[in-house]
Amino acid sequence: MKKRTLLLTLPAILLVFSILLSACGENAKSGEASEIEIKFPSIWVAKDSKAATFAQIVKDFNEQNQGKIKVVVEEIPDYAAYKDKIRTNITTGTTPDIFSFDNPADGEFYYKSGNLADLTPYLDEQWKSTFLDHAFDNATYDGKVYSIPFEFGVTPVLYNTKLFKQAGITGFPKTYTELFAAFDKLKAAGIAPATQMTGGDGWVSMLWYSQLVSAIGGPDVYKHGLDDPAFVQAAEVLKKLFDYTTGDAVGLDNAGGHFLNQQTAVLLNGPWFIGRIKKEGIDQLYDSVEVAPAPVYEGGKGQPGQYVGFTQASLAVGKQKDKKKEEAIVKFLKYLTSPDNVKKISLDSGSLFVIKYEVTKDDKVERLQTEMKKGMEAAPYIIPHFRASVSPAVGAEFPQALSGLVLGKYTPEQFVEQLKQAESK
């Protein structure tokens, strides 16, 4: 009896132990090889517009450093899953050698974990000079650079000239008074003027709010926190903007659908949307789309031509025990962010970067991308969007508070109060 019991139980116990042991076994292998292996979980894979060029750059680097350094890309095409993975890794002290993150507001939390490598000593003048001015403002914490800013997003106004013509409007309005007059004309012509949304993360409406907040409060508005009266005033205007949108704006989470079907005339979005206009837009939509800076708010502290722009992807390095490995990682980062490689990715994908590069006449540059870049370079200042400037909790509460504002549950003051409460939790 006893023997049989033991015989039956043993395999089960062994199974449990083998599960526990297998977790420890993986680490043993990596130390032996003389070649330094750099692990890079990446989202620039599969259908991502940067995937092909990115893969080629990694391949070139590995060939040039054969036998010495090898970058191994782990493909994670799903952004939400990627974010969850990175967070778990950082919390459990298994931070990847290189990873990227989108919102600088998240980066601060990552830095605080103490599991990121300090990149300040590697950032010599030569490397730094290849980046745009102020590129590192959001990447510096406690006087140390904890990530390399990479991809850049600007979100000007995209507008449909064909619909504007139908409503008898020429050119994009310069002030909000003119804007509302133009919107009235569009509405009278049976066209929903602009896309707004409160579903998902409320992206497009969040961008309008960002434009308004800085148009009213000026470029330094986020320095005073949510107490600045500009946030309440901007909410009032944003609520009014919801009178000029589609009936499903509350709850809508597909940014751009109506614009692509030519049901709305105006959309705030960035260079990554250009590809969608070409692929998913109705016939000849691309030819009627133009780019403009958002209007000026009369009496506001903002200046004409301001652009909302933000680092959309930063590269961070996990803390390394081995100095040689850290140097190898930086070597790869310098390669990836070199003007030549960035130019390749940018021209192929339409995305913008914080790294400067020269364009020659022979380069095929996207029309709308060029316009965005021109507008960005002409802008008196560039201000990050709302979500990148507040804590993640406030950013997450924004669509909820906004739908409450639009449906009349909250006054503009209560709307801001709601955002403040999310911060204090």
Residues that bind another protein (CB under 8 A): 1-2, 5-6, 8-9, 12-13, 15-16, 87, 90-91, 109-110, 112-114, 198-200, 246-253, 391-393, 396, 399-401, 403-404, 406-407, 409-410, 421-422, 425
Closest CB to another protein among residues 20, 33: 20
Closest CB to another protein among residues 77, 199: 199
Closest separation between CB of residue 396 and another protein, Å?
5
The closest alpha carbon to 286, from 295, 277, 273, 296, belongs to 277
Closest separation between CB of residue 216 and another protein, Å?
24
Closest separation between CB of residue 333 and another protein, Å?
22
Residue 192 Cα distances to 179, 198, 204, angstroms: 13, 16, 15
Strand partners, 70: 37
Closest CB to another protein among residues 40, 110: 110
Closest CB to another protein among residues 254, 370: 254
How far apart are alpha carbons 381 and 344 in whole angstroms? 27
Closest separation between CB of residue 16 and another protein, Å?
5
How far apart are alpha carbons 110 and 102 in whole angstroms? 12
Closest separation between CB of residue 202 and another protein, Å?
9
Closest separation between CB of residue 161 and another protein, Å?
24
Q: How many CA atoms lie within 13 A of 300 on its CB side?
A: 29
How far apart are alpha carbons 354 and 66 in whole angstroms? 29
How far apart are alpha carbons 315 and 300 in whole angstroms? 36
Closest CB to another protein among residues 57, 117: 117
Closest CB to another protein among residues 309, 399: 399
Instruction: State CA 309 to chain mean position distance.
Output: 10
Closest separation between CB of residue 259 and another protein, Å?
14
Q: Please identify which residue in the block is written with the tokens 């909250």.
A: 410
Closest separation between CB of residue 84 and another protein, Å?
9
Contacting residues for 324 by C-beta, under 8 A, at least 6 apart: 36
Closest CB to another protein among residues 31, 408: 408
DSSP H stretches of helix in 274-385: 274-280, 285-288, 323-336, 339-349, 367-378
The closest alpha carbon to 103, from 121, 82, 88, belongs to 82
Closest CB to another protein among residues 109, 272: 109
Label residue 192 left, alpha or beta by phi (over 0 means left) and psi (-120 to 50 means alpha): beta
Residue 226 Cα distances to 233, 311, 398, angstroms: 12, 22, 13
Closest separation between CB of residue 109 and another protein, Å?
5
Closest CB to another protein among residues 199, 219: 199
